Structure 1
């Protein structure tokens, strides 16, 4: 079904920039970049999928079943996203908040053209119907020059929830916690700009340069764009092994090396941050148990501290084993949305989130990734991301933090502003 050609790439950094620039001609594009971040689990440094042969686009109703049928019939590489609002497919939940983006709830496509880069080795993997284009395309990519990107005016960002309202809403969430309705919930707010045009490629490149995260994504579906600097993996399948790596716990980087180490140490020992992380670990263990073989759910690493360009993060790794006959979509369906973006207990937290937030989350806090022909998969968590509908001229990014019994509303607000800084910076940069 596909033809593979292998090439040696002497300068991978230059090549990946050329590859992404070349891909802009296509209607459907997913570009995934690990930014050479050291990872225990990972298959490729860079992946580009472009030009849909087939695709699926739907709202939340029956979405997981529709995707399951598509994945089983295609038995090929599939790339796309799951929006947060697919929660409404698996539970009696709703999403009635404001939506300025209007993205479909689910979108996946089977690419005609696929590039897989690991170290200096590139696999070009085209559907047989267009494999005669491989050499021409490779030559075109290799000879392409970085075009001058037309700068756009600085974007004027508005905040959907005022500071005063944010503090009130976190107070309401704390009341739910003290009553015992929930233990923890991830509360998010939107920053947005209307009647605005941006250059998606330029914004993505700036955002990625600031953060260099392991799950960076440039996604395009015609007029819908995701420009993501996500540091978080949602779920990965390697054969019968399932890996989840939730992030809970954030501390800012400091220019002074000694002070930076102190910030890192304080995060590792912070009882509030650890309790946040451990609550989500318990939730993920429970989610994975729905499809795991008996006794196979394990915590490989609890509250590990990882350093990124902007922040230190607390990350745990939970794994399980599944039976070979278990459908990939069943594993995703029983763990989605990811616990790090909901809270515990999950359904109660999602109901309270819907009451208190003012924007439909959509693709934010959903997942982007791919299925392989042998039914493995890898998905990130859509955070630290800018969403753009070029037809509606609407730009949006959201940030959130975990609210627990120990939360101080002012501190949570400051954490949100810290997380928003990189997105605000690249949008306001002329």
Structure 2
């Protein structure tokens, strides 16, 4: 059982920074920030869950069954992630590529302490065992002094795949597409740093400041960190409604308003970008149909254009009504990994990805989010993200783009560098 109390927050933006900073003292943290982005599906502006009472950590083997049991038994708030390689639980696939990060494939925890912020109203929910700490903790957060100008070592970022090697691999992907093996493949490459010592909170605050993405996450599990400026929702469950919002299609932002508007309009009309978005929308429709009531899968918006600080993006919204015979975790099992990070057909795309990519994706292109006590959930797509294993002193971020028959290898490479820009800037 939880004790709930409400507080008025005078300056929500300053409070959010204090909240995530205060949370650093705990072994487990999930901090979610919408950065004031609001649509009809938004529930909170910011959430902090911290200090695990119970948790689950596992590799991909039977992972979804284990999560289902955990969620149905706990019937409480659960926060955590699904790594990309959970594909090996649902399909006859494997992951043998290099992994410098060594994160578990699945990790969720039941927080003792939970903060839910909407505009200037804060709800604090503590498990009864520690509810006598609410007032003292709130005072400590309000009075928290954030360290600024934290000294940091230089981080030497290396590129796992050279430009020429990348162009060669995209040519191989185009050959697969021309042979009819696949229509579209999301191909990714890693940037990394070894012997790296970074301050994860300081890097996160900087990344969030320059990106202000709607599905931003700071995640910590002891010595393992995710700093994510994701613009993309993977899937949300609200009652019996599922909402998926894949992103496919990217263009640059410009300081000049005229040039910026032109970039936005060009994205909206680009046949290649529209084709890749429509392919993935179709794949998501098919994924949602596995748990849907008959004739309930609807494309609510096709190829909508949304602007973020770093880029313009093309986003579609697909919804369905879940058949009541399915549990919440079944909706994740039948849609994961998200189509925007695989390609179409999904199985063939994942097989080719494994052969041509040189790094195990791990948490990159997985999902972070939460279950509420009634079984609703909301998960992002882990992109535009920095991953850090403090114990191994290894920093990693990956970027990718969708390869279709209309792809020009040089332009795909440029798109990857555009997506990598914010992470590069933060780590310098």
TM-score normalized by the length of structure 1: 0.99
Deviation at 1:39, TM superposition (A): 1.9
Aligned residues: 428
Q: Deviations over 1:183-230 (max 9, x none)?
A: 000000000000110000010011011110000000000000000000
Alignment of 1:83-162 (within 5 A): 83-162=83-162
> Which residue of structure 2 lines up, in the alignment, with residue 329 of structure 1?
329
Q: How far apart in 1 are the matches of 2:16 and 2:330? A: 34
Map 1:369-384; keep pairs closer than 5 Å.
Answer: 369-384=369-384
2 CA distance for matches of 1:395 and 1:118? 33
Is residue 2:386 matched to residue 1:417? no
5 Å matches for 1:228-239?
228-239=228-239
Secondary structure at the aligned position of 1:317 is classed as strand
> Which digits, 9 at most, give the CA deviation of each residue in 1:36-85, with x for residues without a partner?
01322111000000000000000000000000000000000000000000
Question: Hey, what does 1:360 align to over in structure 2?
Answer: 360
Measured after TM superposition, the shift of residue 146 of structure 1 is 1.7
Distance 1:391 1:149 in 2: 23
For residues 313 and 97 of structure 2, what CA distance do their matches in structure 1 show?
Answer: 30
Instruction: Report whether the alignment pairs 1:73 with 2:73.
Output: yes
Distance 1:201 1:149, change over 3 A: farther
> Aligned partners of 2:147 and 2:198: how far apart in 1?
16
Q: Provide closer, same or farther for how the CA distance between residues 325 and 6 of structure 1 changes in structure 2, counting only shifts above 3 A.
A: farther
The equivalent residue for 1:43 is 43
Tell me how far apart the structure 2 counterparts of residues 9 and 148 of structure 1 sit (CA, whole Å).
Answer: 23
Q: Which SS does the other structure have where 1:358 is aligned?
A: coil
316-325 or 77-86: bigger deviation: 316-325
In structure 2, what is the equivalent of residue 253 of structure 1? 253
Give deviations 1:378-430, integer Å, cap 9, x for gaps.
000000000000000000000000000000000000000000010001101xx
Q: What is the aligned partner in structure 2 of residue 179 from structure 1?
A: 179
What secondary structure, in the 3-state scheme, does the structure 1 residue paired with 2:25 have?
coil
Cα offset, 1:282, TM superposition: 0.3
Which residue pairs with 2:8 in the alignment? Answer: 8
CA distance in 2, matches of 1:331, 1:369: 14
Q: Where does structure 2 lack aligned partners over 5 or more consecutive residues?
A: none
Alignment of 1:349 with 2:349, yes or no, is yes
Distance (whole Å) between structure 1 residues aligned to residue 81 and residue 242 of structure 2: 19
Distance in 2 (CA, whole Å) between partners of 1:209 and 1:324 is: 41
Deviations 1:234-255 (A, max 9, x none): 0000000000000000000011
Structure 2 residue 165 is the aligned partner of structure 1 residue 189:
no
Give the Å deviation of 1:149: 4.7
How big is each residue's C-alpha offset from its partner over 1:114-161, in whole Å with a ceiling of 9 and x where there is no partner? 000000100000000000100110011111122235221221100000
SS in 2 for 1:24: helix
RMSD between superposed Cα atoms in Å: 0.6
Using the size of structure 2 for normalisation, the TM-score is 0.99
Distance in 2, matches of 1:411 and 1:148, equals 39
Q: Counterpart of 1:273?
A: 273
User: What is the distance in 1 between the residues matched to 2:135 and 2:388?
Assistant: 33
In structure 1, the residue corresponding to 2:15 is in which secondary structure?
A: helix
The CA deviation string for residues 267-317 of structure 1, in whole angstroms up to 9 with x for no partner, is: 000000000000000000000000000000000000000000010000000
Q: Partners of 2:154 and 2:37 in 1: how far apart?
A: 30
CA offsets 1:356-385 (integer angstroms, 9 cap, x no match): 000000000000000000000000000000
